[in-house]
Protein backbone atom coordinates (compact mmCIF):
# COMPACT_ATOMS: atom_id res chain seq x y z
CA UNK A 1 0.00 0.00 0.00
CA UNK A 2 1.02 3.60 -0.43
CA UNK A 3 1.97 5.74 2.57
CA UNK A 4 -1.10 7.96 2.13
CA UNK A 5 -3.40 4.92 2.18
CA UNK A 6 -1.65 3.41 5.20
CA UNK A 7 -1.73 6.77 7.00
CA UNK A 8 -5.50 6.97 6.53
CA UNK A 9 -6.12 3.31 7.42
CA UNK A 10 -4.10 3.36 10.63
CA UNK A 11 -5.47 6.72 11.77
CA UNK A 12 -8.94 5.15 11.52
CA UNK A 13 -7.84 1.98 13.35
CA UNK A 14 -6.33 4.11 16.11
CA UNK A 15 -9.46 6.28 16.40
CA UNK A 16 -11.54 3.11 16.83
CA UNK A 17 -9.68 2.28 20.06
CA UNK A 18 -11.38 3.36 23.28
CA UNK A 19 -9.37 5.49 25.69
CA UNK A 20 -9.11 2.49 28.05
CA UNK A 21 -7.95 0.18 25.24
CA UNK A 22 -5.31 2.69 24.14
CA UNK A 23 -4.00 3.02 27.70
CA UNK A 24 -3.86 -0.75 28.29
CA UNK A 25 -2.06 -1.26 24.97
CA UNK A 26 0.34 1.57 25.87
CA UNK A 27 1.11 -0.19 29.16
CA UNK A 28 1.93 -3.43 27.31
CA UNK A 29 4.17 -1.55 24.86
CA UNK A 30 5.94 0.11 27.78
CA UNK A 31 6.43 -3.25 29.56
CA UNK A 32 7.79 -4.85 26.38
CA UNK A 33 10.21 -1.94 25.94
CA UNK A 34 11.54 -2.22 29.51
CA UNK A 35 11.80 -6.04 29.37
CA UNK A 36 13.67 -5.97 26.06
CA UNK A 37 15.94 -2.92 26.37
CA UNK A 38 16.50 -2.96 30.16
CA UNK A 39 17.16 0.80 30.59
CA UNK A 40 19.71 1.81 33.24
CA UNK A 41 20.73 5.01 34.99
CA UNK A 42 22.82 7.40 32.94
CA UNK A 43 21.39 6.48 29.56
CA UNK A 44 19.86 9.11 27.28
CA UNK A 45 16.54 8.77 25.51
CA UNK A 46 14.77 11.07 23.07
CA UNK A 47 11.02 10.42 23.25
CA UNK A 48 7.94 12.11 21.86
CA UNK A 49 5.09 13.64 23.84
CA UNK A 50 1.85 12.06 22.58
CA UNK A 51 -0.85 13.96 20.72
CA UNK A 52 -3.92 12.97 22.73
CA UNK A 53 -6.47 13.72 19.99
CA UNK A 54 -4.62 11.22 17.75
CA UNK A 55 -4.57 8.56 20.51
CA UNK A 56 -0.81 8.18 20.29
CA UNK A 57 0.98 5.76 22.60
CA UNK A 58 0.99 7.12 26.18
CA UNK A 59 4.69 7.87 26.49
CA UNK A 60 4.20 9.48 29.92
CA UNK A 61 4.59 5.92 31.26
CA UNK A 62 8.08 5.81 29.73
CA UNK A 63 8.99 9.35 30.77
CA UNK A 64 8.01 8.81 34.42
CA UNK A 65 9.96 5.56 34.50
CA UNK A 66 13.07 7.11 32.93
CA UNK A 67 13.07 10.17 35.20
CA UNK A 68 12.62 8.02 38.31
CA UNK A 69 15.72 6.00 37.35
CA UNK A 70 18.06 8.86 36.46
CA UNK A 71 17.80 8.23 32.75
CA UNK A 72 18.15 11.52 30.89
CA UNK A 73 15.02 12.40 28.92
CA UNK A 74 14.86 14.63 25.85
CA UNK A 75 11.72 15.56 23.94
CA UNK A 76 11.20 17.12 20.53
CA UNK A 77 10.27 20.71 19.96
CA UNK A 78 9.75 22.37 16.59
CA UNK A 79 11.66 25.67 16.38
CA UNK A 80 12.04 27.49 13.07
CA UNK A 81 10.62 24.47 11.18
CA UNK A 82 13.28 22.18 12.66
CA UNK A 83 13.03 19.47 15.32
CA UNK A 84 15.30 20.22 18.28
CA UNK A 85 15.86 18.09 21.37
CA UNK A 86 15.08 19.65 24.77
CA UNK A 87 16.09 17.93 28.00
CA UNK A 88 13.23 17.68 30.51
CA UNK A 89 13.03 17.13 34.23
CA UNK A 90 10.23 16.40 36.70
CA UNK A 91 9.49 20.13 37.06
CA UNK A 92 9.72 21.10 33.36
CA UNK A 93 6.94 23.45 32.24
CA UNK A 94 5.05 22.62 29.04
CA UNK A 95 2.80 24.51 26.62
CA UNK A 96 0.65 23.39 23.69
CA UNK A 97 1.81 24.36 20.20
CA UNK A 98 -0.26 25.03 17.05
CA UNK A 99 -0.53 21.30 16.30
CA UNK A 100 -1.89 20.52 19.80
CA UNK A 101 1.42 18.97 20.81
CA UNK A 102 2.68 19.56 24.31
CA UNK A 103 6.21 20.98 24.20
CA UNK A 104 8.62 22.34 26.82
CA UNK A 105 8.39 26.10 27.24
CA UNK A 106 12.17 26.26 26.82
CA UNK A 107 13.64 26.59 23.32
CA UNK A 108 17.01 25.42 24.58
CA UNK A 109 18.31 22.81 22.16
CA UNK A 110 20.37 20.31 24.15
CA UNK A 111 22.71 19.95 21.19
CA UNK A 112 22.96 16.25 22.01
CA UNK A 113 22.60 13.63 19.33
CA UNK A 114 24.28 10.61 20.97
CA UNK A 115 21.14 9.10 22.48
CA UNK A 116 20.89 5.45 23.42
CA UNK A 117 17.40 5.42 21.90
CA UNK A 118 15.13 7.66 19.90
CA UNK A 119 11.55 6.55 20.50
CA UNK A 120 9.58 7.86 17.58
CA UNK A 121 5.89 8.30 16.85
CA UNK A 122 4.40 6.64 13.81
CA UNK A 123 1.14 5.52 12.30
CA UNK A 124 2.49 2.37 10.70
CA UNK A 125 5.72 0.40 10.30
CA UNK A 126 6.24 -2.45 7.83
CA UNK A 127 8.29 -5.64 8.31
CA UNK A 128 11.43 -3.90 7.02
CA UNK A 129 11.30 -1.05 9.54
CA UNK A 130 9.98 1.53 7.10
CA UNK A 131 7.69 3.93 8.92
CA UNK A 132 4.72 6.03 8.02
CA UNK A 133 4.44 9.17 10.12
CA UNK A 134 2.24 12.19 9.65
CA UNK A 135 4.09 13.30 6.54
CA UNK A 136 5.85 16.40 7.89
CA UNK A 137 9.36 14.91 7.64
CA UNK A 138 10.65 16.13 11.02
CA UNK A 139 11.85 12.72 12.16
CA UNK A 140 13.40 11.87 8.79
CA UNK A 141 15.57 14.98 9.09
CA UNK A 142 16.33 14.19 12.75
CA UNK A 143 17.35 10.60 11.90
CA UNK A 144 19.87 11.95 9.39
CA UNK A 145 21.64 13.86 12.18
CA UNK A 146 21.91 11.15 14.86
CA UNK A 147 24.76 8.63 14.97
CA UNK A 148 24.06 5.26 13.32
CA UNK A 149 24.57 3.44 16.63
CA UNK A 150 21.61 5.29 18.18
CA UNK A 151 18.70 2.86 18.14
CA UNK A 152 15.64 4.22 16.33
CA UNK A 153 12.60 2.63 17.96
CA UNK A 154 9.01 2.90 16.81
CA UNK A 155 6.09 2.18 19.12
CA UNK A 156 2.73 1.14 17.72
CA UNK A 157 -0.50 -0.53 18.75
CA UNK A 158 -0.44 -2.67 15.59
CA UNK A 159 1.99 -5.23 14.22
CA UNK A 160 3.10 -4.88 10.59
CA UNK A 161 1.03 -6.79 8.06
CA UNK A 162 1.46 -4.80 4.83
CA UNK A 163 4.42 -3.49 2.87
CA UNK A 164 4.93 0.19 2.16
CA UNK A 165 5.11 0.43 -1.62
CA UNK A 166 6.39 3.99 -1.94
CA UNK A 167 9.51 3.94 0.24
CA UNK A 168 11.92 6.66 -0.85
CA UNK A 169 15.65 6.10 -1.10
CA UNK A 170 16.25 8.74 1.60
CA UNK A 171 13.82 7.15 4.10
CA UNK A 172 15.72 5.90 7.12
CA UNK A 173 14.23 2.69 8.53
CA UNK A 174 13.75 1.99 12.21
CA UNK A 175 15.94 -0.47 14.10
CA UNK A 176 13.09 -1.79 16.25
CA UNK A 177 9.33 -1.72 16.58
CA UNK A 178 7.68 -2.28 19.97
CA UNK A 179 4.03 -3.36 19.96
CA UNK A 180 1.78 -4.77 22.70
CA UNK A 181 2.77 -8.31 21.66
CA UNK A 182 6.28 -8.07 20.16
CA UNK A 183 9.60 -6.35 19.90
CA UNK A 184 10.63 -6.62 16.26
CA UNK A 185 14.23 -6.06 15.18
CA UNK A 186 15.02 -4.77 11.72
CA UNK A 187 18.68 -4.48 12.54
CA UNK A 188 20.04 -1.80 10.25
CA UNK A 189 23.28 -1.06 12.06
CA UNK A 190 25.86 -2.62 14.34
CA UNK A 191 25.20 -3.29 18.00
pLDDT reported for residue 188: 52
> What percent of the residues of the chain are helix, what percent strand, and what percent coil, each to the nearest 5?
25, 25, 50
102: closest CA among 93, 91, 89, 113? 93
pLDDT reported for residue 97: 84
Read off φ and ψ for residue 89, nearest 5 degrees.
-135, 175
CA 119 to chain centre: 4
Distance CA 75, CA 87 (A): 6
pLDDT tens per residue across span 101-144: 899 999 999 988 899 999 999 999 999 999 998 877 788 889 99
For the chain, what is the largest distance between any 2 Cα atoms, rounded to a whole number of angstroms?
44
pLDDT reported for residue 191: 41
Amino acid sequence: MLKAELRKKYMQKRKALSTDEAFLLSEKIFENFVDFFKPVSGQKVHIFIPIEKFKEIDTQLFINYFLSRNIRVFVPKIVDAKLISVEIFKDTKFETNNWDISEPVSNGDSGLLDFNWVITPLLYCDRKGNRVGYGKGFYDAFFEMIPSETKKIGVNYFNPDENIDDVWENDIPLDYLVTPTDVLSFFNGSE
